[in-house]
Structure 1
Amino acid sequence: MNTLYYRVSTRTDFETAAREIFDLLLTNQNQFQNYPRFLHVEIEGHLNDLGEFDDDMLRLQQEFGEDFLLQFFTKISFPLLTKKNPKKQINDIPKELKIYDLKQNSLLSKLQIANYYNTEFVLEKDVYTYLNKVANMLKKYEKLDSYKVEIEKENYDEFGLLMHWQSYMKDLIVELFNSFTNGNLISNAAMTRSLIECYVYVSIIKKERSPSLLQDWFLSNLINGTKRYDDNVREVLNINLKELYANYEDLQSRLKKGNTNNWLSTVITKKNITFKDACDYLNEDYLYKDFQEASCFVHGQDIKSKFGPFFSYSSIYGKLYAMMFYIFKSLNLFELSPELKGEIDNLEFELIKLGEDYL
């Protein structure tokens, strides 16, 4: 049996020690393929006033040593534990060590107030594995400019307004995903609500494929938004719009009526169009129900958000499912490569399978 010895010095942190031990393992496997291995680790210092190991060394011995490294050895020995591998030593070792640490030593992380109660679920092995796959997919999506191809095909979108919808939704999806992995579950519910709204409005635009509908959305927001501008900006805006649109006065009169959803009046014939009306128009009966559920964690008076909103893994999985469901639906609104589409399909299936353990 080969014995691998490693000594942690006083100034060595967790990540440095973990990477050096892992490199030692890879080197040994390359030199003595599949030969039985024994790891012996000694730790110098890293003790507090009570003689207890600091967080870095506790993590090195338990989370990294016992939970991860043991499978690649016949036996491991640390100051706090000595363990024999109850199974056969695994010799198929990953080529790269990836360390996920919610408590990164960075300037930004020092500003964060950790909520480990909410992140315990994220760190469950199967949940973390799933979220890692989602993160890799979203990183690929972030690099794509597929919307430029999509805009060329949307002949009803003369000014490329859908490009701005997708750009915003892309940023929203990334922030939404990050909020979940960081345990910001109330923020996550609020952003899920926003994503549902985006999905509904863009779905109606793409369903109708109407230049005038897209124009109405654009003008309605400009016209009704003038209340927030000062007099000079409002005047310049009105002058420019009058030059662009010969029938601007009629458009202004029509779009000022009703509420902020009035731009949908050509497809939904109601005086005051609600978001529920927009959801109903798509004939997807779960949309408004999901929107209401997410809204519970936005509105301050809701009792559900006060009495243990995330009291169990099943409730947290519910937030994960809602988030991922609308991320997938939103991504599919725009053109995707067959490869990315296949990844999303697989992730949808895995999400349902994951729920079998947490519902």
Structure 2
Amino acid sequence: MASAAGNKSKEIETEILPAIRVYKDGRVERLMGSPIVPSSLQDPETGVSSKDIVISHHPSISARLYLPKSTQFKPNKLPILLYFHGGGFVIESAFSFLDHRYLNLIVSEANVVAVSVEYRLAPEHPLPAAFHDCWEALNWVTSHANSNTTTEPWLHHHADFKRIYIGGDSAGANIAHNVALRAGVEALQGKANILGAFLSHPYFWGSLPVGSEPNEGLSHLHARIWNLVYPTAPGGIDDPALNPLGPGAPSLATLGCSKLLICVAGKDALRERGVWYCEAVKKSGWQGEVELFEVEDEDHAFHIYNTDTHNAKHMITRIASFLV
């Protein structure tokens, strides 16, 4: 029996390289992802302060909060950004090096209060778990809007709840889209509203190719990832959560924010979907302001992997200028 169990622990159930390997005994091996780093009361490069908090124990939802250096000198009210990290719903963390460095830069340049959500990852917690976690995190943030309590003093003292933004990269951008749709039909705690959302290199896909995409159907990497992270999705890879124009998808006119920034990269395999999504929003009858921002000759999430390049700095500046 022990030998059989040992053999099973070595048998691979699913493998999506170079990101993740799932074994038949349920063990998950993450092959990518930057290391976890601690929060800091004052980042040496940006002066941004950060700390980790628990939003919920059941389910387990936590976050890393960020305050810009400006708050050290006066208790001014600043826009608030609820951020959702990328990683295909399977890797990375709100506490990882790449996202911590990126949020420090965004918070410093935009002069905002940020809440980076640590949502549950698939395949241990398949979708829609991440969607639920991020919705709960948004409501936790907005619950401070009309409250006299100091549940979280950084929000109570420094956040302007008339300027709430959500945003994310890749899978995080997919989450931002789905959260914005839900906010369009369901009231938030504190009677708050989302002012804007940015979607960087959004993870959208579907069974039919868009633009110059290859016609690979279920064999494409993006389809395989989706089937791993959301095996019970009612519409498969055309489920509205992945394909915003799929069968039965809600109208994009119901997006619950007033302005939208879509960022794409010229060499990114998801570029066509980002452009397509932007045009679909414009044609939907949505009453907000939507803008497409493209950086040519760059690939997926380039601005997170290497923040020191001219193009990365340009993109971070553009996102920061959106958060006003």
TM-score by length of 2: 0.28
Larger Rg: 1
> Which structure's residues are more often strand, by fraction?
2
TM-score by length of 1: 0.26
> Which structure's residues are more often helix, by fraction?
1
